[in-house]
Amino acid sequence: MSDWLISLEGTEAGHQLALVLALSAAFLHAVFGALQKGRHDPWLSRGAIDFAYCVMAAPFALFVVPWPEPHMWLIFLGAFVIHTAYKLLQAFAYTKGSYTVVYPVVRGTGPLFAVIGAFLIFDEVFTLIQWLGVLVLLAGIFGLALYNYLFLESNRDTLGVALALAGVTGLFVALYTTYDAYGIRATADPFTFLAWFFMIDGLVFPGIAALRWGAMAARPALPPLMLRGFVGGLVAFASFGSIMMATRLDKVGEAAILRETSTVFAALIGWVVLKETVGPRRLILMALIALGAVIVEMGG
């Protein structure tokens, strides 16, 4: 499969597959967020998920995929630092502000910085039409954040800190998107990067979660938590693996923009599964996000 995927790089078939992978990543990222937002403490959920995908990735990293080239170890170290910082920033942002306000700000700043990073690192240039699409998409995402702030936000005392943390977290989203694209292109076999990335990335948060669980007065039962971690690990493989593969097959900036339709999928999941009220204004904002992604894709 590795040879087949590599053969698609830079081709029209590779572009179409990257499109499918980026949209799949968007939907699965929304599912991933819903799993983290569930009845368990977010720190515990993240720890269980990271533990699950670390354990599942280890046999593939150690015994199945080709061993990483010597230059990859420094790249893995950089990925480990960037992703750990991102997850810590995101967790602290959620402790200071509501998910419905913080999440759109993170996902809105991320693609803007990613497009700029793709220009600086990979010499990718967006057309004027594509930049129009970026602006439309960002208007929808930040409009959704503003709507949620005006009508849904209850934790206003720490909102300024939450929004600042969300903005920095968005910067790290862009950083890991472009850095992972560099990393997966730096090795001969993309599955080598994916297997080792997931094994290394899952080393920190299980320890944080274990300490937090041990300090709780009312500790949640472990079997349901570990089941959530197992499901979340599978979703993480598919979501983050898809977007990383898309950035190897095609343009990093376009993949980053398409992934941010996850905000639309998250709202749809809330509407269909969680029976949340969407309303006409949120529908319009969601349509703007989708329209912006379409303009970026058609304008390339």
Note the pLDDT tens digit of each residue in 211-245: 999 988 888 889 988 998 999 899 999 998 899 99
The string of pLDDT tens digits covering residues 264-278 is 787 777 677 666 666
What is the C-alpha to C-alpha distance for residues 191 and 78, in angstroms, rounded to an integer?
18
Q: Which residues of the chain have pLDDT under 70?
A: 34, 36-40, 99-100, 152-158, 270, 273-278, 300
CB atoms under 10 Å from CB of 70, counted, come to 7
Q: Rounded distance, CA 85 to CA 79, Å?
A: 10
The model carries a pTM of 0.85
Phi, psi of 125 (to 5 degrees): -120, 125
**pLDDT value of position 153:** 57
Number of neighbours of residue 242 by Cβ within 10 angstroms: 23
Q: Where are the domains of the chain?
A: 1-298
Q: Report the alpha-carbon distance of residue 179 to residue 87 in Å, rounded.
A: 16
Question: Cα dihedral angle (31, 99, 161, 95), rounded to 10 degrees?
Answer: -90
CA distance 102 to 148: 10
What pLDDT does 198 receive? 96
